[in-house]
């Protein structure tokens, strides 16, 4: 479990394997000696298990299922990756509860400068628009964000200067795909409403 508060901007250093399973190595500023093999790290919104590590880097594996539902299939050497270590009991919950279970890939439809911030408009994957609400939460590439407005399957978010400078969101352009995780609370509320309907 994570909070959507990015604590390092890593970079892919190596990719190996084919379309079935892929090993990804990521450079990081984390003290990798303090990360156990088997630990979870949220990598641009995807919860991955650390399978190997060395000074300044760790490795994880991605299955064909993960690659088909996330942007990981497009990662290459040099791809920047938002990183967050797993939440520990007693840690500050600065964003919202993020599970690292990507629901689908949203697509950036518009990027507008708004002072030092960025205003982004995204198209949600079909079927996920019902989980979005103005002033609700969403995780985009692992970053906890507030939804500004919703118009059908299109929604707007604002990226403040700190987030713009310290995550991959400041690098996004029109047409790019991003990993999207809906708020778990929205998921359960929708499920309860469905059960109550005739």
pTM: 0.92
The pLDDT value given to residue 197 = 62
Asked if residue 105 has pLDDT above 90, the reply is yes
Comparing 150 with 18, which gets the higher pLDDT? 150
- At residue 42, φ and ψ (nearest 5 deg) are -85, 120
Q: How far apart are CA 179 and CA 195, in angstroms?
A: 28
Among the candidates 85, 116, 149, a domain finishes at 85
What CATH number does the domain containing 81 carry?
A: 2.40.30.20
The DSSP line for 19-48 is SSEEEEEEE-SS-GGGS-TT-EEEETTEEE
Tell me whether residue 169 is in a domain: yes
Are 129 and 185 members of one domain? Answer: yes
Are 77 and 156 members of one domain? Answer: no
Share the mean pLDDT of the chain: 92
The pLDDT value given to residue 78 = 98
Are 77 and 120 members of one domain? Answer: no
User: Domain range holding 29?
Assistant: 8-85
Are 110 and 74 members of one domain? Answer: no
- As for how many domains the chain has, the answer is 2
Are 58 and 137 members of one domain? Answer: no
Which residue matches tokens 């352009």? 173
Stated length of the chain: 198
Are 67 and 132 members of one domain? Answer: no
Structure confidence by residue, pLDDT tens digits, 182-198: 988 777 777 677 666 66
Are 108 and 189 members of one domain? Answer: yes
The pLDDT value given to residue 189 = 75
- How does residue 159 score in pLDDT terms, banded at 50, 70 and 90? very high
Are 163 and 132 members of one domain? Answer: yes
Considering only CA atoms, which of 52, 1, 4 is closest in space to residue 24? Answer: 52
């Amino acid at each position: 479990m994570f909070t959507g508060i990015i604590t390092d901007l890593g970079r892919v250093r190596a990719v190996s394997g084919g379309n079935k399973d892929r090993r990804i190595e990521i450079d990081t500023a984390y003290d990798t000696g303090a990360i156990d093999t088997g630990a979870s790290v949220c990598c641009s919104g995807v919860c991955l298990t650390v399978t190997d590590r060395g000074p300044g880097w760790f490795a994880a594996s991605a299955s064909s299922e993960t690659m088909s539902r996330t942007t990981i299939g497009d990662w290459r050497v040099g791809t920047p990756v938002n990183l967050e270590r797993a939440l520990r009991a007693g840690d500050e919950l600065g964003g919202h509860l993020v599970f690292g279970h990507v629901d689908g890939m949203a697509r950036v439809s518009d990027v507008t400068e708004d002072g030092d911030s960025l205003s982004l408009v995204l198209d949600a994957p079909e079927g996920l628009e019902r989980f979005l609400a103005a002033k609700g939460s969403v995780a985009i590439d692992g970053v906890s964000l507030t939804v500004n407005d919703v118009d059908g399957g299109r929604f707007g978010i604002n990226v403040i200067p700190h987030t713009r400078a310290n995550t991959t969101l400041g690098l996004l352009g029109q047409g790019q795909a991003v990993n999207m995780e809906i708020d778990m609370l929205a998921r359960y509320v929708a499920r309860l409403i469905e059960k109550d309907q005739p």
